[in-house]
Amino acid sequence: MTEKNIPRYQSTRVLWTYRLVDLLIPLLMLLLVHFLSSDQSWREPYAWLGGMAGLLFVAFTQLLGGYSRFVDRSIAKKIEIVFKTWAFNVLLLMFIAYLNLAVLGLARSVILAWVVLTPFVIFFIKVLINYKSRSTQKGRTEILVLGDGYCFNEFELAQLKRHNIQLHTIEYYDATVLRDKVEALSPDFLVINLEKIAEPKLVKQLTHLDLKGVQLLALHHFMESFLRKCYIPYESSELSYLERIRSYDRISHLVKRIVDIMVCLSLALVTWPVMLYAVYMIKKQSPGAIFFKQSRVGLYGKNFQAIKFRSMNENSVFNPYTQEADTRIFPFGNIMRRTRIDELPQLWNVFVGDMHLFGPRTEWDILVEGYEKEIPYYHERHLVRPGISGWAQVLYPYGANTEDARQKLMYDLYYIKHWSIWLEIETLIRTVLVVLGRKGM
In the predicted structure, residue 238 carries a pLDDT above the cut 70: no
Residue-level pLDDT at 103 = 57
In the predicted structure, residue 1 carries a pLDDT above the cut 60: no
Residue-level pLDDT at 108 = 78
User: How far is the C-alpha of 377 from the C-alpha of 395, rounded, in Å?
Assistant: 20
pLDDT band at 440 (very low <50, low <70, confident <90, very high): very low
Q: What's the CATH fold of domain 141-227?
A: Rossmann fold (3.40.50)
8 Å CB contact between 122 and 167: no
Residue-level pLDDT at 249 = 87
Beta sheet of 189-192, edge-to-edge order = 165-170, 141-146, 189-192, 216-218
Average pLDDT estimate for 90-98: 79
Average pLDDT estimate for 313-333: 73
Average pLDDT estimate for 299-304: 91
* Among 191-195, 363-367, 421-425, 430-434, the range of highest mean pLDDT: 421-425
Q: For 376, phi and psi rounded to 5 degrees?
A: -60, 140
Q: What average pLDDT is seen over the chain? A: 86
End-to-end CA distance of the chain: 34
Instruction: Return the domain boundaries, the chain.
Output: 3-134, 141-227, 250-437
pLDDT band at 355 (very low <50, low <70, confident <90, very high): very high
Query: Parallel, antiparallel, or unpaired: how do β-strands 303-309 and 291-297 relate?
Result: antiparallel
User: pLDDT (tens digit, 9 = 90+) per residue, 146-186?
Assistant: 988 888 988 899 989 888 898 999 988 888 888 889 888 88
Residues 6+ apart with CB under 8 A from 369: none
User: pLDDT (tens digit, 9 = 90+) per residue, 100-141?
Assistant: 655 556 677 888 899 999 999 999 999 999 888 887 767 788
In the predicted structure, residue 318 carries a pLDDT above the cut 70: no
